């Protein structure tokens, strides 16, 4: 378990690239256990032990459950809203987990590059993509050089709950690296946790709130509102296409267009 005092020591002693690289090592200890259906989490290392047929059936059952019935209010609505846009887009899916969004968009015609800090997550996504018979690209995030991709004209950067897992200054550093990959007029689409959720759950320190929201071993969760998002993007401006809280203030949504 990563203690609050250890996190404070790291934040105080490092900056910039060193801080980003150190934080990747901390997050990698947790995020092979990723969200699946509702509050259920799955371990990608465990999933990798399944046979091909078991893995594909498991992934499809999780994905379909996330898009229908009561879970439509959490994930299904944005799939219905964004699928037409995504089908014609080149997407960079950052912190993809088991690829519930990116693989689904790829099935509908999108070109998708998956970035993640956990190699087992990417290996699992590659295997599922092969089983679905779709072509994808994967990139392991190890340091800032991981963002030196040959293509710098993505239509969409897609961050579904991945940027909230590190302190603001770490996320701001990563955001700056990612923004260089987005074409003019491209969209940054992100799911986060709002300040209202942090307040109703007791205003806990971020390293404690992480364990409450995302389970044991979660080192950090950072809330966001529009003002905080503007500070994270600074000095880059953006236009707001859509911003809202949803699901009783459990989540918030940022759809931003970069000039």
- Contact indicator for 127, 55 with CB cutoff of 8 Å: yes
Question: Which among 233, 240, 230, 255 has a CA at the least distance from the CA of 176?
Answer: 233
- Contact indicator for 223, 195 with CB cutoff of 8 Å: yes
Q: Averaged over 90-105, what is the pLDDT?
A: 97
CA–CA gap between residue 240 and residue 133 (Å, rounded): 35
Residue 81: band (very low, low, confident or very high) from pLDDT cuts 50, 70, 90: very high
CA–CA gap between residue 66 and residue 214 (Å, rounded): 17
CA–CA gap between residue 50 and residue 123 (Å, rounded): 13
CA–CA gap between residue 167 and residue 20 (Å, rounded): 10
Give the domain CATH number at 83. 3.40.50.150
Summarize the chain as % helix, strand, coil (round to 5): 45, 20, 30
Q: Is the pTM of this model over 0.85?
A: yes
Residue 235: band (very low, low, confident or very high) from pLDDT cuts 50, 70, 90: very high
For the segment 136-191, what is each residue's pLDDT rounded down to a tens digit?
A: 999 999 999 999 998 889 999 999 999 999 999 999 999 999 999 999 999 999 99
- Contact indicator for 187, 179 with CB cutoff of 8 Å: no
Instruction: Write down the pLDDT at residue 150.
Output: 86
Number of domains in the chain: 1
Q: Averaged over 106-116, what is the pLDDT?
A: 97
Residue 6: band (very low, low, confident or very high) from pLDDT cuts 50, 70, 90: very low
For the segment 12-68, what is each residue's pLDDT rounded down to a tens digit?
A: 444 678 899 999 999 999 999 998 888 899 999 999 999 999 999 999 999 999 999
Query: What is the percent of the chain where pLDDT is above 90?
Result: 88
The range of the structural domain enclosing residue 216 comes to 4-257
Instruction: Write down the pLDDT at residue 145.
Output: 94
């Amino acid at each position: 378990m990563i203690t609050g005092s250890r996190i404070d020591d790291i934040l105080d002693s490092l900056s910039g690239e060193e801080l980003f690289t150190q934080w990747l090592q901390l997050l990698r200890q947790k995020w092979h256990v990723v969200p699946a259906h509702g509050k259920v989490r799955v371990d990608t290392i465990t999933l990798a032990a399944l046979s091909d047929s078991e893995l594909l059936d498991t992934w499809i059952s999780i994905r379909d459950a996330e898009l229908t019935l009561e879970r439509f209010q959490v994930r299904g609505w944005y799939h219905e809203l964004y699928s037409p846009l995504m089908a014609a887009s080149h997407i960079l899916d950052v912190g993809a987990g088991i690829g519930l969004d990116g693989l689904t968009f790829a099935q509908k015609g999108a070109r998708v590059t998956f970035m993640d800090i956990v190699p087992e997550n990417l290996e699992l996504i590659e295997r599922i993509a092969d089983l679905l018979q779709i072509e994808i690209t994967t990139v392991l995030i190890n340091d800032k050089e991981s963002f030196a991709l040959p293509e710098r004209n993505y239509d969409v950067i897609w961050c579904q709950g991945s940027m909230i897992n590190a302190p603001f200054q770490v996320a701001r550093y990563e955001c700056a690296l990612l923004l260089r990959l987005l074409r003019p007029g491209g969209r940054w689409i992100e799911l986060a946790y709002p300040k209202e959720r942090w307040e109703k759950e007791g205003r806990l320190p971020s390293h404690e709130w992480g364990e409450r929201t995302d389970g044991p071993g979660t080192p950090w969760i950072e809330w966001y509102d529009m003002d905080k998002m503007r500070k994270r993007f600074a000095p880059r401006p953006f236009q707001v296409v859509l911003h809202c809280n949803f699901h009783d203030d459990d989540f918030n949504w940022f759809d931003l267009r970069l000039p």
